[in-house]
Chain A
Amino acid sequence: MNGVVAVTLLFVVLGKVFQFYPNVVDAICARIFGPANARAVRELRTSLAEYAALKEKNMGVSAQDEYTKWTLNNRKLDKLNKRIDSLKQEVRSANDGRASRFKHAKLVLLTVPFTLFKLWFGKHVVYTLRSPKYFPSLVRAVWDQGFLFYAMLPLQWLKGRSVAMGHVNVSLGVWCWALSSVLATVEFVVKTLWFTPAVPNPAKRNTSTSTSL
C-alpha cells in the first residue's frame, strides 16, 4: 500500500473517530491543554462542598429556638447559591468556548487538509482493475478521470478523440468518494438493524386498548 493511500485512510479513520467519539477527543484535548478555566472549576468544587456542609449543619439548627443562627445560615446559603450559579455559568461559557474552538480546530486541522489532499492527489492511481472489461468504456473513463469526464466528453468527441483505453485505473478522488459512500451505507445498515429500538405499530396498540376497555 503506498503512502498516499495510507494517509487517506488515516484521514478517514480520524474523521470517523471525531464523529463517533467526540467525548473521547474532548477528554484528550482537556488533558493536553488543561480544562477550560481551571480556577473556576476548582472554586466551584469548593463552593459546592461548602454549601453541602452548611446545609447539613443548618438542618440540625432549630428555627424556633435559634432563629438568629438559622437566619444567618440561610443568608450564607443564599450567598453561596448565587456564587455557585455564577461559577457554573463561567464554567459553562468556558466549555462552550472550548467546544467552538475545537470545531474550528477540527475544520482547520482535519477537514481542510483532507480536502486539499484530495484535490492535490486526486489523479493519483490507487489500483488498476484486473480486467478492463468489467465496465463499459463510458463508465471506465470516470474511474480514471473523475466525473468531470462527462463535462469534457462533448469536447473530446469534437476533437475526434476516442474513449477506449487499455488498463482501467481508479484514481484517488473517485476511490475516496466510493469509500465514503460505502462507509456511510454500512453505518446506516448497522445503526438501523442493530441500534434502532423497535417502534410499535400504533394501529395495533389502539385496537388492543379498545378491546381491553
Chain B
Amino acid sequence: MSELSDAEKRRLLKERRQKKFANGGASSRLNKITGQADSHLSTTSPLENEKKVTPTTNLGGATAFSEDAGKKQFSSPTVTSDTTTEEKDRNIEVELLKQLAGAQKQDGSSPDLFSLLKSMNPGGDTPDLSGMLPEEAVSPVDQALLNYHDYLVNRLKAWSILIKWCCFLLPYMYLVTRDGRPSVFQVPKSLSILTDPSHFFMVFTSFEIVAVSIFYQRLQTIERTNKVNTLHNTSKIVKLSSLIPEGVLPISNIKGKIVQVLQYWDVLSIFLTDVCFVLVFLGIMMYI
C-alpha cells in the first residue's frame, strides 16, 4: 500500500512539474535561482523551446551582429526541433564563426580585435601587430648586441693605441731624439733620413693617416658584422639631433651634418692624443 501511494505520489509530482514547465515555469525558477528576476536578458530556456515553437530571439550580448544575421543565426536551430541539444549548440557555434568570417568584410560591423585596433588607429591602417611583440622581445637582444659592440670597439681602440705608442712612436721618438748620440738601435744609413728631426712631423703625420685608416677599416668591419652604427648608438648629440624634425632649422639634413662633424672631431681627437703623447715623451727624453 505504501509503495503504491509512494509511486502515486511520485507520479503526481512529476505531472505537476511537467505542467509547470509547460506553463513557462522553468525560466522563472531559473531566474529565482540565479537572481535575475528583473533582468532584461532573455530568459527563454531550451527546455521551453523543446516543447513549443517559439519566435526567434536575439541574445543580448551579441549586439554587434546585425539583426538579420542574428535572426538567421537563431532561426536555423529552432526549425530542427528533432535535433539534440549538443548538435544544436554545435550548429550555433558554426553559425557564429561563419558570421565572424563574413562580418569582417563589412564596415564597422565586426567586433573582432583587428577592426577595433583599426578604429583606434587614426591613420586607418591596420597596425602591424606582428612588429609589436617582436620589438619588445628584440630590445633586450639589441641592448646585449650594443654592449657587445661597445666592448669590441673599446678593445679595438685600446689595442690600436697600445700598438701605435709601444711599437712605433716610442722607438721612433727614441731614434729621432738621439741626434748623433750613441743609441741602442743602429739605423741603416738609407733610413737615416726618417730619423732626421726636420722630417719627424711629416713621418708622424703620415703614420697617423695610415693608422687611422686601418682603425676605421677595422671599425667598419665590426659595424658591418654586428649591423650597428657606433656613432648613431653611442653619441648623445646624434640621438638628440635625430629628434629635431626636418624643416625646423634652416639647415637641411642636420643629423647627417652633425654625424660628419663628429667623425672629423673623432679623427682629430685621435691625432691630438698622439701629439700629446709625443710631447710628454719628448720631455721625458730630455733627461735620458
- Chain A residues with CB under 8 Å of chain B are 126-131, 133-136, 139, 143, 170, 174-175, 177-179, 181-182, 185, 188-189, 192-193, 196, 198-203, 206
Contacts and interface: CB of A to CB of B under 8 A. Distances in A.
B201 A139 contact: yes
Interface of B: 141, 144-145, 147-148, 151, 154-155, 157-159, 161-162, 176-177, 179, 197-198, 200-201, 272-273, 275-277, 279-280, 282-283, 285-286
Contact of B283 (A127, A136, A198, A206): A127
Contacts of B279: 143, 170, 174-175, 178
Nearest to B200: A134
B179 A131 contact: yes
Contacts of A203: 145
Given A175-B279, A202-B145, A189 B158 contact: yes
Contact of B158 (A126, A130, A193): A193
* Max chain A Cβ within 10 angstroms of own Cβ: one of B176, B276, B280, B285: B276
* 6 shortest interchain CB distances as A-B pairs: A178-B276, A192-B158, A131-B197, A199-B151, A202-B144, A133-B198
Contacts of A193: 155, 158-159, 162
Contacts of A130: 177, 179, 197, 282, 285-286
Given A127-B286, A192-B158, A193-B162, A182 B280 contact: yes
Contact of A170 (B145, B147, B198, B283): B283
Contacts of B286: 127-128, 130
A134 B282 contact: yes
A206 B155 CA distance: 23
Nearest to B177: A130
B283 A181 contact: no
A179 B282 CA distance: 12
A163 to B, nearest CB: 15
B158 to A, nearest CB: 4
A198 to B, nearest CB: 8
A128 B283 CA distance: 8
A126 B161 contact: no
Nearest to A193: B158
Given A178-B275, A181-B276, A189-B162, 13 more contacts: A135-B200, A135-B201, A143-B279, A175-B279, A175-B280, A182-B280, A185-B273, A188-B161, A196-B154, A199-B147, A199-B151, A202-B144, A206-B141
Contacts of B151: 196, 198-199
Contacts of B147: 199
Contacts of A170: 279, 283
Given A126-B283, A181-B272, A189 B161 contact: yes
B84 to A, nearest CB: 46
17 contacts: A130-B177, A130-B285, A131-B179, A133-B197, A134-B200, A134-B201, A135-B200, A175-B280, A177-B276, A178-B275, A179-B280, A185-B277, A189-B161, A193-B162, A196-B154, A201-B148, A202-B148
